[in-house]
Chain A
Amino acid sequence: MAILVDERTRVLVQGITGREGRARARLMREYGTKVVAGCTPGRGGESVDGTPVYDTVLEAVEASGGIDASVIFVPAPLVKDAALESIAAGIALTVLVGDRVPVWDVLEIARAAERAGVDFLGPNTLGVLSVGRGVLGMIGGRAESARSWFKPGGVGVASRSGGMTSSTGYYLSRAGIGLSTLVHVGGDGIVGLPLPVVVRRFEADSETRCIAIFGEIGGSQEERIAEMMASGEVTKPVVAFIGGRAATQGVRFSHAGAIVEGGRGTHAGKVAALREAGATVVDAFDELPGAVAKVLEG
């Protein structure tokens, strides 16, 4: 099964005529993803490496016989408009790869998505990859790398760091542990599909047996996973590493930001909450594959 993307997902690339869009569309196709259309306003009628380009998203949806996911490769200041267009067209999942998207733009995107009942991943995300089935975004960089780094199996990976999504997947695969789907939720403070939502999807996925998390200081995503484990909403084993133990001094939180989250966000707080809820939290990242192996055996 896997989550969010598989070999049947029909994909639109917004910004396909740009340098990034063109290169990443190629990566996605080469990995086996069904890229069926592209969209760039004013460039309708062209084609990029054989993929037809449309002026509007809705036109792409109508002409291609349906779109399940759109991946947006446009500069940060233009992301909001592109995302609102994808959401307005009713596309179930929009992936916002762009970095430095203004946070109030993200709030508007979130508002529109909530009203339309659709999801978005990111912003500032490397994307999502279901091993051997499809990739949205740019995990792996090259299709051949993605094929050699990630082996299929039953561990779902969710991470707040893009690079560490690939690393976690690679080190698990190297230890002989296969993966279902790798998700980079995005590096920003406010994202469309945060770790707890991704964990819920993994919980519902018949193929995923164990969930590996790369968490970070700040925000409340890890604590919410702990809450879901404590309430019984998540029953699959969770193995986590939390980065940023030594970095706390250099990172400042908005005072009021901590209070709405109940004073959460510290490294120690996240580790304690997850352990109390029954998750395995490793102190060194290198210990993650061993801990996952142990959980899978048990």
Chain B
Amino acid sequence: MARLTEFQGKQLLRGAGVAVPRGELARSAAEAAAAAGRLGACVVVKAQAWTTSRKAQGLVRFADSAVGAGDAAAAILAARADGFAVTEVLVEERVAIATERYAGIILDDRRRRPVLLVSARGGSGIEETAREHPESVAELPLDAVEGLPRHAARELWRRVGVHGEEQRNLAEACVRLAAVARAVEARAAEVNPLVFTGDGRAVALDCRITVDDAAVFRHPELGIDVARELGHPPTLLERIAWEVEKDDYRGTFYFLQMRDAVERGQRVVAFHGAGGGGSMMGMDALARHGFAVANFCDTSGNPPASKVYRAARILLSQPGVDGYFGTGSGVASQEQFHSARGLVKAFLEEPLAVPAVVRLGGNGEEKAIEILTGYTKALGVPVECYGKDTPVDACAARLAALVAAFTPPPPRPPRRGPGPVERPYTFSTPTGEITYDHAVCARCQSKACVAACVPQILALSDGVPVLKVTREDAARGRCTECLACEVDCAALGSEGGHVALEIAGLDEYRRARGLG
């Protein structure tokens, strides 16, 4: 996750020369007790979870002995923070506090600059402080390249009434905090409280750093495995989704679980958006019709059909949903039949067992509607598709009507893989593998694959489809994974084509949850 834990943040600060309390991470009561022993017994034990007001939630506890530290850790590790388990605590020496201040580097969208924000009143929430004691808060826009001049930091602290040795030391800490924020490309780096100790040092007692998701690729040293600002530790399904997206720069796939453990009848639906604005409108429309969403998902920016397919498979791995709802802005610049083919492949394989309403308005929408509704008739569950002239509210209303009238079909086995192949012809795509059974293809009347192939890389040779580009070129991207040679073949031809698109970890995830 692109939010660093307090411990990670403090390590960065320590590396930049900002004083932080001595501390150790612990994952059990025994580890915490041992750490407390090494640190001198008088410690504070803090949950490593990104949540506000940890103290009030009992997620920060004080101890005066190793045994007490173990007990405190046990209590915290048994608790949940915002509905998610706490897996780590930070055991730290306690520091003699003279004054508590606040310092933060944030990015200001108005000035388009980093800003140093300080307050003479640390400890509580900075928004609250700004409201109630505006005179104690001051800010300074920074130059993104040159950083924070030391003299400007001193002057800023003077403005909020901090003087002398404390002013000099807090200013020095701020210069280093600004350097850390720049170095890790933070969207926010806050120290609250930044304390001045009895022995004259500035010490960071807490630290919250959010790294820009888009810059995570430049910072392997941070060990961020899921570059998404989720607000909770990534779920298993979110990790699987991130693996799909991580190295595939063709369009965007964003996936965020809003709730786990959904049951039929709760009016929770799988949500498949396209584009941020259209997605938000779609969720608003669902809310107006009494639906909640199991997840947020966005496939946009002209993704290949294969990416939309993988997204749909992941969405359908959320058991208990009452429906599947897809919508974008309604007037998409991208060609919508790619999304339609991705959805058809996922729906047929699953097979889809709840009503689906998908709004695929925009370029190529007539073809998209024909593919999505025409090719899914055999499913026996309602799949409706609309274009730009049907408002999103009307689509949400259709889903409500379909869900109300729906009787689930008897369970059917998933339909994946090509089955036994008599005369295989295979080649690699950028993220998968295509197999034609030339024995089937030879008998096929339509040869629909050749005409439907979007990049037009297939030709007939002795009556069967073969590549007319090299295998290397196909694998390097001449094959755009439009999925027509499976999807159109299944609907119009003889089911001789199959595109294998792995989703790492998904089969295991589904087996563990009793899904097919």
| A198 CA to B309 CA, complexed, in Å | 38
CB atoms of A224 and B217 under 8 A apart:
no
The 8 Å CB contact of B188, one of A163, A167, A254, is A254
Q: A111-B112, A187-B276 are in contact. List 13 more A-B contacts (CB 8 A).
A: A104-B144, A104-B182, A107-B112, A111-B113, A141-B333, A163-B300, A163-B328, A163-B329, A191-B109, A214-B277, A255-B52, A260-B115, A260-B117
- Which residues does chain A contribute within 8 Å of B218, judged by CB atoms? 77, 102
- The smallest C-beta distance from B7 to any residue of chain A, in angstroms, reads 20
A252 interfacial contact with B, CB 8 Å: yes
CB atoms of A190 and B127 under 8 A apart:
no
- Which residues does chain A contribute within 8 Å of B115, judged by CB atoms? 260
Query: How does the 8 Å CB contact mask read for A61-80 relative to B, with 1 for contact and 0 for none?
Result: 00000000000000111000
| A174 CA to B215 CA, complexed, in Å | 41
B17 interfacial contact with A, CB 8 Å: no
| A77 CA to B212 CA, complexed, in Å | 13
A291 interfacial contact with B, CB 8 Å: no
CB atoms of A141 and B301 under 8 A apart:
no
CB atoms of B280 and A216 under 8 A apart:
yes
CB atoms of A108 and B392 under 8 A apart:
no
The 8 Å CB contact of A190, one of B112, B117, B280, B331, is B112
| A100 CA to B231 CA, complexed, in Å | 19
CB atoms of B210 and A285 under 8 A apart:
no
Query: How does the 8 Å CB contact mask read for A97-133 relative to B, with 1 for contact and 0 for none?
Result: 0011111101110110010000000000010000000
A-B contacts, 25 listed (Cβ < 8 Å):
A104-B144, A107-B113, A110-B112, A110-B113, A111-B113, A111-B143, A114-B112, A141-B334, A162-B329, A163-B300, A163-B332, A167-B361, A192-B112, A194-B109, A216-B277, A219-B109, A246-B280, A246-B284, A247-B280, A249-B258, A250-B231, A256-B188, A261-B110, A285-B281, A285-B392
A138, A214, A220, A255: which has the most chain B beta carbons within 10 Å? A255
CB atoms of B328 and A252 under 8 A apart:
no
| A285 CA to B287 CA, complexed, in Å | 15
Complex A-B, nearest 9 residue pairs according to Cβ-Cβ distance, in ascending order: A161-B277, A163-B329, A141-B333, A163-B275, A107-B144, A164-B277, A102-B215, A246-B287, A110-B112
B100 interfacial contact with A, CB 8 Å: no
Query: How does the 8 Å CB contact mask read for A253-272 relative to B, with 1 for contact and 0 for none?
Result: 01111111101000000000
- The smallest C-beta distance from A292 to any residue of chain B, in angstroms, reads 16
CB atoms of B333 and A126 under 8 A apart:
yes
B155 interfacial contact with A, CB 8 Å: no
Query: Using a CB–CB distance below 8 Å, which chain A residues touch chain B?
Result: 75-77, 99-104, 106-108, 110-111, 114, 126, 138-142, 145, 149, 159-164, 166-167, 169-171, 174, 187, 189-192, 194, 214, 216-217, 219-221, 224, 243-247, 249-250, 252, 254-261, 263, 284-286
The 8 Å CB contact of B274, one of A138, A163, A214, A259, is A163
- Which residues does chain B contribute within 8 Å of A286, judged by CB atoms? 391, 393
User: A216 with B276: in contact, given A75-B249, A261-B110 (CB under 8 Å)?
Assistant: yes
- Which residues does chain B contribute within 8 Å of A107, judged by CB atoms? 107, 112-114, 144
B427 interfacial contact with A, CB 8 Å: no
CB atoms of A263 and B127 under 8 A apart:
yes
B77 interfacial contact with A, CB 8 Å: no
| A170 CA to B389 CA, complexed, in Å | 10
CB atoms of A166 and B333 under 8 A apart:
yes
- Which residues does chain A contribute within 8 Å of B113, judged by CB atoms? 107, 110-111
Q: Which of B343-383 contact A (CB under 8 A)?
A: 361-363
CB atoms of A190 and B107 under 8 A apart:
yes
B433 interfacial contact with A, CB 8 Å: no
Query: How does the 8 Å CB contact mask read for B66-85 relative to A, with 1 for contact and 0 for none?
Result: 00000000000000000000
Query: Using a CB–CB distance below 8 Å, which chain B residues touch chain A?
Result: 52, 104, 106-110, 112-115, 117, 125-127, 130-131, 137, 139, 143-145, 182, 185, 187-188, 190, 210, 212-215, 217-218, 229, 231, 249, 252, 256, 258, 274-278, 280-281, 283-284, 286-287, 296, 300-301, 328-335, 361-363, 388-389, 391-393
A114, A140, A164, A171: which has the most chain B beta carbons within 10 Å? A164
- Which residues does chain B contribute within 8 Å of A257, judged by CB atoms? 106-107, 187-188
- The smallest C-beta distance from B128 to any residue of chain A, in angstroms, reads 9
CB atoms of A256 and B109 under 8 A apart:
no
CB atoms of B280 and A159 under 8 A apart:
no
- The smallest C-beta distance from A44 to any residue of chain B, in angstroms, reads 25
| A111 CA to B159 CA, complexed, in Å | 26
For B296, give the chain A residue with the smallest CB separation. Answer: A250
- The smallest C-beta distance from B298 to any residue of chain A, in angstroms, reads 10
CB atoms of B330 and A259 under 8 A apart:
no
The 8 Å CB contact of B127, one of A75, A103, A139, A259, is A259
| A140 CA to B362 CA, complexed, in Å | 9
- Which residues does chain A contribute within 8 Å of B363, judged by CB atoms? 141-142, 145
- The smallest C-beta distance from B368 to any residue of chain A, in angstroms, reads 13
CB atoms of B212 and A104 under 8 A apart:
yes
CB atoms of B278 and A161 under 8 A apart:
yes
User: A99 with B301: in contact, given A108-B145, A194-B109 (CB under 8 Å)?
Assistant: yes
For B227, give the chain A residue with the smallest CB separation. Answer: A100
- The smallest C-beta distance from A93 to any residue of chain B, in angstroms, reads 16
CB atoms of A250 and B331 under 8 A apart:
no
For A184, give the chain B residue with the smallest CB separation. Answer: B277
- The smallest C-beta distance from B138 to any residue of chain A, in angstroms, reads 11
CB atoms of B284 and A244 under 8 A apart:
yes
CB atoms of B117 and A159 under 8 A apart:
no
- Which residues does chain B contribute within 8 Å of A141, judged by CB atoms? 332-335, 362-363
For B392, give the chain A residue with the smallest CB separation. Answer: A285
- The smallest C-beta distance from A161 to any residue of chain B, in angstroms, reads 2
The 8 Å CB contact of A256, one of B117, B143, B283, B333, is B117
